[in-house]
Each structure stands twice: as structure tokens, then as C-alpha cells.
Structure 1
């Protein structure tokens, strides 16, 4: 039977939480109103879960973290007045698994209990994944043994067991969603949903409804109540990809959810609790996105509690053969015919610069599998750097006058790149370092702007 220790100097709050926990399962519960009482209770019976208020009459609850035996064997959850950025950073620094916002509700306590897992259980899983990395070359869904990727694995292992918000950056195609999925799979929320939403693929007019849900009749066409991503991901993880494509007014509402832990459906006044971990991602430089007005500065700092920056594939070329073999194995398993790369093909794969990163490599492997009739894949159908596919030759240049806005400069670059690659969208997207969906969205927006201005798109 799991034992819970509540360290809270407010007697009524402690009694209320103890009563709640007593109704939710086979738990034994003890309370302590001071550090001294807490240490005595820990000596009497080692807890599996500690609900810890950091402000106590005889000192800070942080002092309990000095007991390394306690933190190695017990899940520690902070009790705080509000979900501030400082609280998130403090919880991460201390190694706390989560935090509860006062006044503590039954739903919050139930969520914490549903995710109860001892730290040493997580450590055992991490050890098994590290063994798999050395044997097979992958850490969960992430593949590669390069130093750059090992740093990513260390970060994922560090943050997964906490409740910290994660902000993943990197070029398009580097595997940001795979990182988010791996963090979720290693977290205490793994038994609940992992949902991903591409903010660049949802119409701005529908995005609020998709994320927060709506009530029947709240707008034209709302014929029934709709649960948004926050509700559907309850207890789990919500991955917000291309966060810089989210409209500014919706960024304000997302910030409010992160700070208050609550939200309401469109057309409703009912306040719902958001028991969801947020992982956000962008292929843009975050500070540049702030400077150009694509990302609110306050939202950036609220999301950027634990940043993870993925390296482009060209910076970890030693991983290319391993990734290629992995993708080839997947295709062969689906298609039922085993094929292998020739040494020349592997060499060609290793020297190519991969402007589209891991996504491009996966697509290339699928294509050459189809194009190869025999059991051996040669370098005949592989991309070559002459110049690198997806990159403009040195003489292909554009000029931008000083004083040109970032948005207009971006437009000129995108349209010039499209012309350079004969309007081949996949190659243009790879050269620009953006997803194909993002490129489509930009071109559509430019066409709409030109139509509104009464002219055709410029080039």
C-alpha cells in the first residue's frame, strides 16, 4: 500500500487533502505542519509520495530535498499558490515531479495519484533505454549515436520525469515531434493521451475551437458541443508544433491557461481544469520570431522552461547510415521484400548535406526502395551535392533594401526560391528549412494578399 506524506502548515488544507486521498484508493496518509514534523514522519514511515508546501514555519520545504534517499525513492509534488514561471523552474531544479495549485481540488489530487511512480522505476527504464542505445542505436524513437544526439538524450532523460514545459527548436524535418513523443513516453503521463496539433495546418478562424473546444451554437456551423485538444489530452501531453503560426490573440489565451491552469470552451462560461503537459516547437529562431511579432515574448519565456535544440542532420553525418538502415528496415517490413544498401550508396548518403534533414532521408529511402528492382540499392537514385539538392548555387542571390520589414524579406526569399527551383515545392521547402505545409500556407497567404491588392503574385 502506498504511503502519502502531506507537508502543509495550513491544518485545514492538510486535513482536506488527507481526506480526499483516503477516498481515492488504498493509501495510508500522514500530515506534517513543519520541517521538523516532516522529518520525523519520514523516519517513522518512508513515503511513496510527498505533497510539499515550500513555505513552512520553521524553514523552506526545499530543505527536504537535501535528503537524497527521500528524493530517490519518493515522488515529490510541490504545493504552490499559482503556476508561475518561477514555480516551474524551481520544480525542475529541485527534481519535483509536479506541482499542485492552491486551492487544491479533488481533480488535481486525483491526477497526481494516477501518475504515482517512484523515481527509481523511471531510472530503471532510462537504464534499459541506454542499453538499447548502445546495442541498437536508438533512444526510444530517436536514432543516432553521435555526441550531438547523446546530448539530446541526456536532456530528454532529465526533463521527462518532471512537469516542466518543454520548448523544442530545430530545422524542419529534424524530429521535433519524435522528441515530444519520447518525453511523453518516459513521463508519468504515458498512460494518458499524447496529442499533436500543427498550428500552421489549422485555419486561424478554427484554431481556438480546435484547441479549447466549443459549445453548441457558439458560432455558425457549431451544431454540437466539441471537445478541444486540451480536453482530449486530459492527463497527458499536448504537443503544439509550429507555435509561431498561432494567432497572437490565441497566444494570449494559451498564456492564460499556462498561468492559471484553467480554460473555457468557446461560447461557455464554465471553467475547466487543464491537466495537460505542454510541449511546444518551432523551426524558427525564437527571438527572431518575437522580434517579427510572430511569438509573444511573455509566451516564449513561459514555454521556454526547458529548451531542447535539435541539431540538423548535416551536423551529425555519422548517424546517417544508421538512420538509413532503420528506415530501410521499416520499408522492407511493410513491403515484404528485404533489400540492402551497397557500400557506394552508404557513402553517398553520408556525404549529402540533407537540407530536409531526417524527414528528407526517410523519403529518399522510401523512393530508392521502390525504384530499385533488385536486392541491392545502389547510388543511382540518390541525391547528390552538385550543388547540394535543395540549395541554391552561389550565383542565385536576392537583394533586400535596408528598412525592408522581416515579413517582406521573407516573402521575397520564398518567392525567389520557388522560381529558382522551377516551383518545385518540396525542394524549395527543403532549401528554406521549413515544412511543406508551412510553405503552402505562406504561398496561399501571399496569393490572398495579392488578390486583395488587385494584382498577381510577384516573383
Structure 2
């Protein structure tokens, strides 16, 4: 019989959870404080721990650490959820993070899953050599970080928010999370929220009943029903209307939704992975993303590096794309040394998608077996005698991206001296330092962020 440990200082909540645990076939131990929970862990390691973080007698994280050490699944149930707490808990091996009041049907599903497996599902792991992970290719250090994050979060049911420029492979990350989870045998449904007409997106998400509007001659199942038991990938989440964001938030909190044309709720068990090519904080400030939805989605935020930040992965990916074209076409084309060097120097504003298309064009236009450098895009960086004191911007580049490139270029020009950089940019040292911290947190290379006596004044 699987064993359940409940940590909560509310007697009524403990009893409700204990009754539900017994219904699902568990033996149950209860603790009202951290000390009692640690004693129970020593007496009998549980298969599952349901824990509140805010309990008497110490930090609930201590219980998470000890539970992970004895290979127990841990689910946090708290009325004081924050992104920092969620991320810290996940790093300690927590498998899920639920906000009170908890949907009991959703919790019952979780209890039955753990009872059925009597142990943790195997974690996703990168292939030997760390060059591949799912459909992703790359051996740079920034990609190794991405692989480790996926391996850590995949076995849980946590919502994930993937942030990255267009073409960086956000859907591949979502697929890898799905394949590394216990849901791998269930549907993976990908939705581009920006590609659906605003007046149709609610119908597509939640479905409709027959007769709910003119032309609705049959019942239609939406994406949530189609993804039941599996993973729903919501790309370009900031393109969703505010009204629909409210409904999405309710589904995430309760595990229930209503089809268009009915007031009957339908339960669903769906893990959501969302993605955006905007900085989420800026999307909230610009009115593109509800703050409450942001915090619910970003239980585990991930930042995908731009291709220009991935070093030799550029050449590795280009060669992989060429190998595929050679295999399909029965050819043995190769890159010239000059072409490879130009690959390294190019900014790749369209990221992996642009690189793949560039290789395809060069392959098609090649007159011999060697792909000439002239067929490879020129760099947007200062190169081949260009002015290193200039920053070239693309038409349509976001203001946030333009700001970042200008700030980092000015910092480099000033030799990393932040006071001088702030003065040149016309901002306060504190504003500059806050920006640099945000860029570093997002995975960008910020030289000597915490170094130097000058920082004491910022």
C-alpha cells in the first residue's frame, strides 16, 4: 500500500486530505509542524508528501529536502504561492505546486497516478555526450543548462513558461518536456495563439455545443479536451485576449472549463507549457499579459538562448541540416571554409529557423559540391572592417531587444565601467545595474556583473 504524509497546520485541511488519500488507497501519516514531519519521514519514507510551506517550527523547504533524499514525490499545497518559492521548491525535487483552494478532482488524479506507479517516473536525461536532447541539437554550455532544466521539470506536472526569440525552438522544448513526463503516451497538442482569429480562439480552446451559434451543427471539442491527460503547448501566449486569459487562469487553477454555449463544467487533466517571444515582465507592463496569469504560468520559467549566443552550435546545426539534405538528395555537398566562417560571424536574427533556411538556399543554389561563402548571409555585426562602435538594428526589432543590444555594446565600449556606461546612456547607475541583472537572469552574457568597487554606489 502506498504511504502518504500530509504536512499542514490546519487540522481541517489535514483531515480532508487524509480522507482523500485513504479513498485513493493510501496509508496516511499527518504532521502539523516541521519537526513532526521530519519524525514521520524517518519512521516511514512516504511515496508522496503533500506539504504546506508556511507551517510552525521551521522552513517547510527542509521537509522537501529530506523527502527528496528518500525518493518521495513531493507536492506543495499552499495559500502563499510565489514564483521564488515555486522555483526554489522545484530545485529541491518538488514534483508539483498547487495553490489553495485546490481542485480536489485534480488532486485525486495525482494521488491515483502516484499510487499506480508506487515510485517516481524516470527523469528525462540528455543523450551521452550532451549533444542531443529530444529533437534539440547543441553542445554549448547555455544549451546544457536548458537540457538540465528540462530534465528537472519534465517529470512534474508544473506549468512552464518558455521565453525566447522567434526561431529558437520553444516548441521543441515543450515536446521534450512532454516526452520526459509521465504523460508521454498521451496527446501533445500545440497551439499558436497568434494564428487564430480573436473571435474564434475561445471556441478553439474550449470547444462548443451544438446549436450554440449559427453554423454550430455539431459538438466541437476544443484543444483542452483533445489534450486531456497530456500536454497543451500555448505559443505566443501574449496574443491571447485579456478575457480569454481570465478563463485560462481559471482552468489552470481548477482543472475545469466550459464549452461555448453551455454552463456545465468539464474536468480536464492537462499540463500547460506556454511560450512567448517577449520579456514577460514587459508584456505585463504593456498590457499584453495579465499579471496573475503570468505568475501562474511562470511557476518554472525557462529562457532559451538566441543562436548568436550558442557559439559552435551554429556550425554543428548547419552541418546537421546539410547532412539531412545530402541524405535526402543523395549528394555529398560540403561547406567551404569561408562559408563556415561566415556562419560564425552572422547574427542570425531569425535564429535556428533562419539558419536552416540559409542552408537550404545555399544547397539549392550550389553549382558544385562545395557551398560557396557568397551564398551564406552576411553578418549584421561589425565585421570585415566594420565600425565596432556601431550597433546595427533590424527593421521590426523590438524596443526591448534594441535597448539590450545598445546597453551591452556601450558597456563593452566603456570597458565594463558601469558609471561611464550609465553616463553615456543618460540613465542612473541603478537603472543600468537593474537592466544588467535582468539580462543576466535571462541568460545573456553580461561581463563582470557583480565585480568592481564601482558597483557599491549602484
TM-score by length of 1: 0.71
Residue matched to 2:122: 121
Q: Counterpart of 2:93?
A: 95
1:253 offset after TM fit, Å?
Answer: 1.5
- C-alpha separation in 2, matches of 1:159 and 1:277: 12
Partner of 2:418: none
2:322 is paired with a residue whose SS is helix
For the residue of structure 2 that corresponds to 1:263, the secondary structure is strand
- 2:71 — aligned with what? 73
* 2:180 equivalent to 1:181: no
Counterpart in the other structure of 1:16: 19
Task: Classify the secondary structure of the residue corresponding to 2:312.
Answer: helix
Work out whether 1:32 is the aligned partner of 2:29. yes
Structure 1 residues 251 and 119, CA, compared in 2 at 3 Å: closer, same or farther? same
Question: Contact 1:132–1:139 at 8 Å: present in 2 too?
Answer: no
Distance 1:214 1:257 in 2: 16
Specify the alignment match of 1:268 in structure 2: 262
- Counterpart residue number, 1:5: 4
Q: CA 1:305/1:65 → structure 2, altered by over 3 Å: closer, same or farther?
A: closer
Q: Distance in 1 between matches of 2:102 and 2:379?
A: 60
Match of 1:317 in 2: 311
SS class of match (1:317): coil
Alpha carbons of structure 1 residues 319 and 72: separation in structure 2 relative to 1, 3 Å: farther
Distance 1:155 1:347, change over 3 A: same
Matching residue within 375, 383, 386 for 1:381:
375
The reply to whether residue 208 of structure 1 matches residue 205 of structure 2 is: no
Q: Which moved more, 1:200-209 or 1:81-90?
A: 81-90
**Could you give the per-residue CA deviations for residues 68-110 of structure 1, whole angstroms, max 9, x where no partner exists?**
5x54522123345698868855753553212566666456423
| 4+ long deviations beyond 6 Å | 55-60, 81-87, 393-398
How much has 1:62 moved relative to structure 2? 4.8
CA contact (8 A) 1:160 1:187 kept: yes
Instruction: Give the whole-Å Cα distance in 1 for the aligned partners of 2:252 and 2:360.
Output: 40
Q: 1:150 to 1:209 in 2, by over 3 A?
A: same
Residue matched to 2:350: 356
Q: In the alignment, is residue 281 of structure 1 matched against residue 275 of structure 2?
A: yes
- After TM superposition, the structure 1 stretch with the greater mean CA deviation from structure 2, 92-101 or 208-217, is 92-101
Mapped partners of 1:260, 1:277: distance in 2: 12
Shift of 1:242: 0.9
Distance 1:308 1:15, change over 3 A: closer
Task: Give 1:352-431 correspondences, 5 Å limit.
Answer: 352-372=346-366, 374-385=368-379
Structure 1 pair 52/379, CA: closer, same or farther in 2 (3 Å)? same
DSSP 3-state at the match of 2:360: helix
Is the counterpart of residue 342 in structure 1 residue 343 in structure 2?
no
Q: CA RMSD in A?
A: 3.6
Correspondences of 1:141-220 after superposition (within 5 Å): 141-220=135-214
202-211 vs 350-359, greater mean Cα deviation: 350-359
Query: Which string of whole-angstrom CA distances, capped at 9 and with x for unpartnered residues, describes residues 290-324 of structure 1?
Result: 33322223322332232222222122232111111
How far apart are 1:262 and its partner, in Å?
A: 2.2
Aligned residue pairs total 381
Task: Check conservation: 1:83, 1:258, Cα contact below 8 A.
Answer: no
Q: Mean Cα displacement is larger for which, 138-147 or 190-199?
A: 138-147
Distance 1:182 1:87 in 2: 25
Normalized against structure 2, the TM-score is what? 0.71
Distance 1:48 1:386 in 2: 55
1:197 shift after superposition: 0.6
User: Against the structure 1 CA distance between its residues 385 and 46, is the aligned structure 2 distance closer, same or farther, given a 3 Å change threshold?
Assistant: closer
The 3 A distance-change label for structure 1 pair 333 and 118 is farther
**Distance change (3 Å), C-alpha of 1:328 and 1:247:** same
| Structure 1 counterpart SS, 2:283 | helix
